[in-house]
Amino acid sequence: MKKILLTFFLGLILVSGYAQKKSTANDTIRLADPTIFYEKGTYYLYGTGSPRGFLVYTSTDMRHWSGPAGRREGHALLKGDAYGNHGFWAPQIYKQNGKYYMAYTADEHIAIAESDSPLGPFTQKEQKAISGPGKQIDPFIFKDKDGKLYLYHVRLQNGNRIFVSRLKNDLSDIDESTTIECISAVEPWENTANAPWPVSEGPTVVNHNGLYYLFYSANDFRNIDYAVGYATATSPLGPWMKYTANPIISRKNTGYNGTGHGDLFTGKDGKLYYVLHTHNSNTNTGRRKTAVIGVSFSKDTPSVFTADPKTFRFLLSSPLK
């Protein structure tokens, strides 16, 4: 009986160990499809990495990261508290009226959960996915200057294609009648393997000086040429014109394969950054590494956006205390 109980408890430790394990000093954080939410001097880092939901790490200087720090076994969102059983991918945090919302992918559908804290727990009173046909992934909530909300997302329709829909003011669902396609992968750099299923994904949208910028990644994430480009428009609904010098972030200017699928954020220094992932190494995809790079809008040429390779660095955990 003792042997049976020991085996049972060892099994429990192994199952829960991923979430319970604290990072050791100078470990590279391994969250794919990352996003960083900054508020009141603290950076909150989330991404794809746990089969049980979304872990969160925190930092006050963007260099030393502690965690996992979520309130549910290290998770900001834990399986069972909101929609989804597997495939927890690509979260984004959005704040409105004192509440925090997490838009995310699970079971290849999109859901939106809420919390009173960036650390969670993010929950849903009614565990459900948003409306829409077929599979939908990679959500991004954008609020326009007129207060209207939009949900940019990817639909799996003859490839990974980026769409946008009006999002209801209470963030409960989209207005499916407003859905239109933004972009798909048709440029040579967007499908270097000539795959039958072209991929454009991971949208992030911002408005700068009256122009809308849609940042996205293209190629299959396992492709060494996975990279980041952008398109511009004068309306959040498009039409979108792709930048002629894409990609702006790739293995050619970072030195690392599989560079992409991230999010823009402004640091406490007032500068703009893009958090992203790379392959585990230049020989295998593996558990993808989380990194950050400094980016900026051109002061002289409208619609030009650049990344500074000298600022590229991986995010490391801080020493245990």
Find where tokens 């990679």 sit. Answer: 138
Q: State the Cα–Cα distance between residues 65 and 63, nearest whole angstrom.
A: 6
How many whole angstroms separate alpha carbon 125 and alpha carbon 113? 9
CA pair distance 75, 107, nearest whole angstrom? 18
Could you list the beta-strand ranges (E) of 13-88. 32-39, 42-48, 53-59, 64-65, 75-78
Alpha-carbon gap, residue 89 to 111, rounded angstroms: 11
Enumerate long-range contacts of 38-42, CB under 8 Å, 24 or more apart: 38/265, 38/266, 38/267, 38/268, 39/95, 39/118, 41/268, 42/118
AA identity, residue 85:
N
Q: How far apart are CA 203 and CA 223, in angstroms?
A: 18
User: Tokens in use for 29?
Assistant: 């954080």
From residue 238, how far is each of 143, 153, 230, 242, 246 by CA, in Å? 15, 14, 13, 11, 18
- Convert 193-208 to b/e letters by CB count within 10 Å (16 or more is b): eeeeebbbbbbbbbee
| Cross-strand pairs, 57 | 45
For the chain, the maximum distance between any two Cα atoms, rounded to a whole number of angstroms, is: 75
Three-state secondary-structure class, residue 59? strand
Q: How far apart are CA 48 and CA 261, in angstroms?
A: 11
Catalytic hit among 81, 114, 201, 225: 201
Catalytic residue check, 201:
yes
Q: Is 220 a catalytic residue?
A: no
What are the catalytic residues?
Answer: 33, 201
